[in-house]
Amino acid sequence: MLQALRRHAGSWVAKGFLLLLAASFGLWGVGDIFSGYQDPVVAEVGDRDIHASTFFNQYNQRLSELRRSLGGTVDEDLIRQLGLPEQVLNDMARRILIQVEVSERGLTAGQNDLGSWLQDQEMFRNSLGQFDRNLFNYAARAQGLQQEEFLALLGEMRTSELLLDAVSFGAHPPDRWLKTFHALDREKRSARAAVFLAADADPPEPAADEAVRTRHEEQADRYQTPRRRDFTFAVLDPDALKGAVRITEEDLLEAFDQRSDEYFETERRHVRQYLADTREDAERVLARAREGVGLAAAVEETLGDQVINLGSVTRDELDAGYAEAVFSAGADTLHGPSETAFGWRVFEVADIQEARAPSLDDIRETLTDTLQLERAFDLLHERAEVFYDERAGNASLEEAARASGASVLFVTDIDAQSRDSTGSAHPDAPGRALVTLGFNVVADATSDLEELDDGRMVAVRVDRDVPARAMTLDEAREDILEDLAEEARLADARRRAEAYAAAASGTASLSTLATVHGGVLHTSEAFTRSGEGAAADFPDVARRIAFELTMGATSSAEEFGGGYAVVTLDQIIDAPEPTSEDLDSSRAALGASLGNDVVLSFIASLWSAHQVSINQTVLDRVLTDNTGTSF
């Protein structure tokens, strides 16, 4: 369930479900890691306090999300560069400001609105797309809340969302902006990019011992042994539980009666079409096709072009008028021409697959598997409740696993990249998801059950934690030599790129020049700022540079992943005059952006209206005292 919530999360400006929910947990006293100890105030927002425990839980959650997105550990340097602690604290303060505003205005979401909103939340829907109270109750229990508390919390969230919707409502861009936006959005450019890769450089001479020693002395923090851990996992697996689920004939008959519409096979038709520029071309194609050669051959012979194969389509996949023409036609028939917004259309119905209502025997295997999996998930949640109850009663991870039927898995001496102490793949690695979960838990702690993307529910205990340490010179030597060699290759790529850039102006053949300097010239047809129309092998960095150049200019060497690029701008194609549809699209895009800007301005005004203060000393102490084992 928690993983399902994460999958549907968005930014705080977009009022994402998870982040608002998580930000509110502290107000209910959830997850107090400082129980029994002084819980200092990290920030004050009006008359509300953000305590260290609440901040630290939010910080660890954001850190875990960052690790998952990057696929491993996150070091202190990256955290510092991102300003992660400050981001988390500022986001928490913003959400509290919204809650304060809701409270002071006496705003509440209506019961009907709240009920409809809850039923629209995908994380509370079952496999039939219906609101499932069991999933709602499970989500409340998973967060340690009573149902009434959870509902009150969701009501506060919904009210905050409605307030932000009201604030951003009516944010419409002036019409004079629309053409400017369209001109920028639809302008196209074509360019050539010479790419010089470090991998193409000649192998450098091995670095001298003195250079290795100097690198180790100056950048010791860069060369660290990986953190290593021993884990105990408790795993509830729905696939393993499927075998314990027995589906009777009565179950199948009942499900078939209730779900037969899901398996109904709608009528389909295999359609090929062609859009000609003129009616005359369309009629020529149609006449040739009716001589027995078929539409594809007729288009190729007559116009040297290709048909569009729509494949097997249903009536709902076509617009109403076209659907009526296609589905009233017989098999192996040709039709047209008819005028459309995109040209003169002729089409061919190649095959017809009649609508069909399958029998129970036709779908018996599929339906049985579906029912087994659904009931396995029900059983999974029941066993998760047992696991939670056992842990709440101070049972060990193994005892809770035994009571709930979870399997227990032991893994020793593994790093965050699933390697053993020799740097090889760990023979007992339990999979990336479990390893990542294990390294997201504080040392010597036991996590709650967490739902993974594949449906498994896993709890982990960190049995042993060996922190990272600086490598000795001998340990780091191989890594340092590899880094120095890569830096030498990259420097060589830069020299080659700069030599090319210096000689590019006035050169007749840029392709030859690129080859002389050990590069490859990539050419692209016209593309937009978003990359629409760009050749597949045209580097992203080159597209960006192209929109910074004047006509005919060549850029300097610019670094990108693994090399350097030099771009020459060949053509600028102004955007066509916008249609009413173009302006409507620009209005919607700019309106959404302005709405977010209005929300940001509104929150900035709340920040000024309510005294917000951050205790940097306490924040630094909390991070120093409690995050050392998390990196």
Residues 198-222: tens digit of each pLDDT: 999 988 998 999 999 999 999 988 8
Are both 382 and 502 inside the same structural domain? no
Lowest mean pLDDT among 73-77, 114-118, 247-251: 73-77
Q: How confident is the model at residue 497 (pLDDT cuts 50, 70, 90)?
A: very high
Residue 74: the pLDDT is 64
CATH number at residue 313: 3.10.50.40
Residue 230: the pLDDT is 96
From the number of C-beta atoms within 10 Å of its C-beta (0-12, 13-18, 19+), residue 146 rates as exposed
Residue 127: the pLDDT is 61
Q: How confident is the model at residue 71 (pLDDT cuts 50, 70, 90)?
A: low
Residue 460 structural domain: 228-246+365-466
For the chain, give the percent of residues with pLDDT over 70.
Answer: 89
Tell me, yes or no, whether 591 lies in a domain. Answer: no
CATH number at residue 104: 1.10.3120
The domain total for the chain is: 4
The answer, yes or no, to whether residue 116 has pLDDT greater than 90, is no
Are both 519 and 563 inside the same structural domain? yes
The backbone torsions φ and ψ at residue 591, rounded to the nearest 5 degrees and listed phi first, read: -60, -40
Tell me, yes or no, whether 482 lies in a domain. Answer: yes
In sequence order, the β-bridge partners of residue 272 are 309, 348
**What is the C-alpha separation between 148 and 295, in angstroms, rounded?**
65
Q: Which residue has the tokens 């905050």?
A: 160
Residue 68: the pLDDT is 64
Are both 138 and 204 inside the same structural domain? no
Residue 211: the pLDDT is 94
In sequence order, the β-bridge partners of residue 352 are 269
Section 117-143 average pLDDT: 74
Given 466, 494, 524, the domain boundary residue is: 466
pLDDT, one tens digit per residue, over 328-343 is 888 889 998 888 877 8
Residue 403: the pLDDT is 95
Section 532-541 average pLDDT: 91
Q: What angle do CA 245, 248, 249 make, to 5 degrees?
A: 150
Strand spans (E) along 118-267: 188-197, 228-236
The answer, yes or no, to whether residue 297 has pLDDT greater than 60, is yes
Residue 472: the pLDDT is 94
**What is the C-alpha separation between 170 and 286, in angstroms, rounded?**
51
The answer, yes or no, to whether residue 102 has pLDDT greater than 50, is yes
- CA distance readout (Å), 342 to 183, 270, 329, 391: 22, 21, 22, 64
The answer, yes or no, to whether residue 508 has pLDDT greater than 80, is no
Are both 462 and 390 inside the same structural domain? yes
Tell me, yes or no, whether 53 lies in a domain. Answer: yes
Residue 70: the pLDDT is 64
Are both 370 and 348 inside the same structural domain? no
CB 380 within 8 A of CB 241: yes
The answer, yes or no, to whether residue 395 has pLDDT greater than 70, is yes
Task: Looking at 517-579, list the stretches that DSSP marks H as alpha helix, in order from N- to C-terminal side.
Answer: 540-546
Are both 481 and 442 inside the same structural domain? no
Tell me, yes or no, whether 600 lies in a domain. Answer: no
Residues 444-473 as b/e (b if ≥16 CB within 10 A, e otherwise) read: eebbbbbbbeebbbbbbbbbebeebeebee
Given 466, 501, 533, the domain boundary residue is: 466
Both structure tokens of 338:
């008819």
CB 262 within 8 A of CB 397: no
The answer, yes or no, to whether residue 2 has pLDDT greater than 60, is no
Are both 280 and 389 inside the same structural domain? no
Given 353, 379, 404, the domain boundary residue is: 353
Helix pair 133-142, 147-168: axis angle to 10 deg: 100
**What is the C-alpha separation between 322 and 422, in angstroms, rounded?**
65
Are both 131 and 197 inside the same structural domain? no
Tell me, yes or no, whether 603 lies in a domain. Answer: no
- Mean pLDDT across the chain: 82
Q: Which residue has the tokens 């009528």?
A: 267
In sequence order, which residues have a C-beta less than 8 Å from that of residue 406 and are 6 or more positions away?
234, 235, 236, 383, 387, 400, 459
Are both 390 and 288 inside the same structural domain? no
Are both 75 and 135 inside the same structural domain? yes
Lowest mean pLDDT among 28-37, 48-57, 401-410: 28-37
Q: Measured in Å, how far apart are the chain's first and last C-alpha atoms?
A: 26
CB 510 within 8 A of CB 497: no
Q: Which residue has the tokens 């036991």?
A: 446
Residue 628: the pLDDT is 39
Are both 232 and 163 inside the same structural domain? no
From the number of C-beta atoms within 10 Å of its C-beta (0-12, 13-18, 19+), residue 106 rates as exposed
Are both 154 and 6 inside the same structural domain? yes
Tell me, yes or no, whether 259 lies in a domain. Answer: no
> Nearest-CA neighbor of 338 among 289, 276, 387?
276
**What is the C-alpha separation between 352 and 288, in angstroms, rounded?**
23
